[in-house]
Chains A and B, each alone.
Chain A
């Protein structure tokens, strides 16, 4: 009868549950693990949070020149030479510029509409439009006054009185991202990376050294049960840690949460489990810590610098962005940001979920294949 019971799914999941509960309790008795799970990411949040509050010296500008007049051409040429205006290349249409603005990749859009700079009655006329988002109000005002004085200088060649070239400021409807939004979701990725990969990478070889896994190997425990108990544990502690970061970010750094928290939690759990798979593969394969450390670094460091953990990916050249799009952590960070700050739903995140799904299959296939109990 007992044999019959041990074959049922409920019993197999009960096994997973017991391992999960006991190991969770064990984690909370381990100060070092607690530090790395909860405090370590927070320290980074404090550091990067205060860094990203300092304003930048130049403004990232998309220049859309639809006017063919000589004055418009001359003005845009001069604008490109001006160090205050960091004109972004590669943004040529208003639609592109708008979406860049909403992603926080640029601060303002300067639009020179058709006919801007036409000479009418001997005077240059037209309105330049300065578009900005809610989070760039200050920058927009500064730029508007700079431009207005430039326009005054131009018109003064024609007339001493009156101002026929004007700057019109327009706030775009879309909520745009601040640089902190990028910093914060990058740090979420950092926390996921840290506990998901370095956790099993250091714990499993330790358990092997103590003979714990070898001992478990003499029981009918399956690898998937062992993995699943780890996934549960990581999902729970991961969400706690990320939640804590979010509270700190909202309180101290005025993070604006636009999206649905349940959606975000679901998405982050998926990301946590995905990245944990890399840790399970590395730790499950490793005979000892020395053996796995170099391989772990080769995998972790590129992700740390190329997937938007510490540097927003929009700073990268286009070709690098299109490659790093396909790294496992990239869709985790991008998707989390899109939910958190743009209110996207899971249905909007098809491309991200697709990349994550493919990686999930690959990573866990490898993890199961290379796992060894001793």
Chain B
């Protein structure tokens, strides 16, 4: 049995009497990518924000490495890295300086260049964030969330608005993060993304978890219920064509 890093029990949150998150429970294992799927307003972001100590928990509990989130917010923040939906950084600040600041916020002193080189941003070390492209900004944001080597990494819809190359780069990055033994919890609207990245997914609707398993088991269960769809003839799709023609820019950079 793998080690449990995040344990969520009966977690609930209401806004004006409406239950945004309704008594959900799940566990996330060490080095696992855990996806939370669901339509807008299902309670995905609220769930993440409660575990991230950003939102008060109404009922239930969440622990990370057995440390209670509600009672030890500062300890929890030193154990987690957070990638918000749209990462914002102060302008007129060099990438190296921002990394120094984030490291300092965690009480660490790091060599920013090492981190930037890891994600192919070494040449941009002295650039300001506002000079980065959307994909570069996402990669940079991930770097700042990982400067303190956290136990859990949260990503809220990380690939929304990215072009296909940037999306694939991000997938590679997340896989690398997982390989370092960091647990990853992400939300997404893209099923393809969930299927490729996630070891297990929870599907949320109206504040509840309505399904939780590995993507394959969920698909098997669906097929067992007698689901079928017309077989696909194509061995490639339009995205494959697009990627093939435009190339993976990031790989050569790194």
CB within 8 Å of B: which residues of A?
2-3, 5-7, 11-12, 14-15, 17-19, 22, 25-26, 29-30, 207, 210-212, 214-222
Given A3-B78, A6-B107, A11-B107, are A218 and B92 also a contact pair (CB < 8 Å)? no
- Residue among B77, B78, B90, B91 having the largest count of chain A Cβ atoms under 10 Å: B90
In the assembled complex, the Cα of A12 lies from the Cα of B82 at a distance in Å of 21
User: Residue of B at shortest CB range from A219?
Assistant: B105
Contacting residues, chain A, for B106 (C-beta < 8 A): 6, 219-220
12 contacts between A and B (CB under 8 A): A2-B148, A6-B108, A12-B107, A14-B104, A22-B98, A25-B93, A26-B97, A210-B88, A214-B88, A215-B84, A215-B88, A220-B106
Given A218-B77, A219-B102, A220-B78, are A22 and B93 also a contact pair (CB < 8 Å)? yes
User: Residue of A at shortest CB range from B92?
Assistant: A29
Q: Is the CB of B52 within 8 A of A218?
A: yes
Say how far B77's CB is from chain A's closest CB, in angstroms: 4
Q: Is the CB of A218 within 8 A of B80?
A: yes
In the assembled complex, the Cα of A12 lies from the Cα of B106 at a distance in Å of 9
Contacting residues, chain A, for B86 (C-beta < 8 A): 211
Q: Is the CB of A26 within 8 A of B105?
A: no
Known: A15-B107, A30-B92. 13 other contacts (CB 8 A): A6-B106, A14-B104, A15-B105, A18-B100, A25-B93, A25-B97, A210-B88, A216-B105, A218-B54, A218-B81, A218-B82, A219-B105, A220-B75
Contacting residues, chain B, for A6 (C-beta < 8 A): 78, 106-108
Contacting residues, chain B, for A207 (C-beta < 8 A): 90
Residues 106-120 (chain B) with a chain A CB within 8 angstroms: 106-109
Residues 59-84 (chain B) with a chain A CB within 8 angstroms: 74-75, 77-78, 80-82, 84
In the assembled complex, the Cα of A217 lies from the Cα of B55 at a distance in Å of 11
Say how far A58's CB is from chain B's closest CB, in angstroms: 53
| B87 at interface by CB-CB < 8 Å | yes
Q: Is the CB of A221 within 8 A of B105?
A: yes
- Residue among A18, A30, A219 having the largest count of chain B Cβ atoms under 10 Å: A219
| Cβ 8 A contact of A211, one of B87, B97, B109 | B87
Contacting residues, chain B, for A215 (C-beta < 8 A): 82, 84, 87-89, 144
Say how far A167's CB is from chain B's closest CB, in angstroms: 65
Q: Is the CB of A212 within 8 A of B78?
A: no
In the assembled complex, the Cα of A119 lies from the Cα of B106 at a distance in Å of 89
Say how far A222's CB is from chain B's closest CB, in angstroms: 8
In the assembled complex, the Cα of A12 lies from the Cα of B103 at a distance in Å of 12
Contacting residues, chain A, for B125 (C-beta < 8 A): none
In the assembled complex, the Cα of A332 lies from the Cα of B75 at a distance in Å of 40
Say how far B223's CB is from chain A's closest CB, in angstroms: 40
In the assembled complex, the Cα of A210 lies from the Cα of B147 at a distance in Å of 21
Contacting residues, chain B, for A19 (C-beta < 8 A): 101, 104-105
Say how far B236's CB is from chain A's closest CB, in angstroms: 38
Say how far A343's CB is from chain B's closest CB, in angstroms: 42
Q: Is the CB of A22 within 8 A of B89?
A: no
Contacting residues, chain A, for B78 (C-beta < 8 A): 3, 6, 219-220
Say how far A203's CB is from chain B's closest CB, in angstroms: 9
